[in-house]
Amino acid sequence: MPLIERVTRRISGWKSKSLSYAGDGARKKAVVAWSRITYPKTEGGLGLRDMDSWNFACVMRHIWAILLKQGSLWVAWIWGYRIKRMDF
């Protein structure tokens, strides 16, 4: 199983545990769904980011930087040692 899937599962477990904790050691049913918590504050949520969409956006940003060969040391290393003459 890839690392990102393991991390996502672990965070999902923490989310469900934190929503169903009564504070005195007892478990209770979650009052609000996690998807509702990720709504903006103006819509009644807490404004937390959804981990899956946040991860997707970050990966796409890295790919965009690689394709445009933006001037960073990381992109230069990727082009020099990983991509070389390969077709991305």
Question: How far is the CA of 35 from the CAs of 2, 50, 60, 67, 78, in angstroms?
Answer: 24, 8, 22, 33, 36
Asked whether the beta carbons of 22 and 3 are under 8 A apart, the reply is no
pLDDT bin (cut points 50, 70, 90) of residue 2 is confident
What's the pTM?
0.55
Higher pLDDT residue, 40 or 9? 40
Asked whether the beta carbons of 16 and 34 are under 8 A apart, the reply is yes
pLDDT bin (cut points 50, 70, 90) of residue 1 is low
Helix (H, G, I), strand (E, B) or coil at 31: coil
* Tokens encoding 19: 């929503």
**Which residue, chain included where needed, has tokens 């990966």?**
59
Query: Which tens digits make up the pLDDT trace of 18-77?
Result: 665 555 555 666 667 777 778 888 988 888 888 778 888 988 998 888 888 887 888 888
Asked whether the beta carbons of 21 and 36 are under 8 A apart, the reply is no
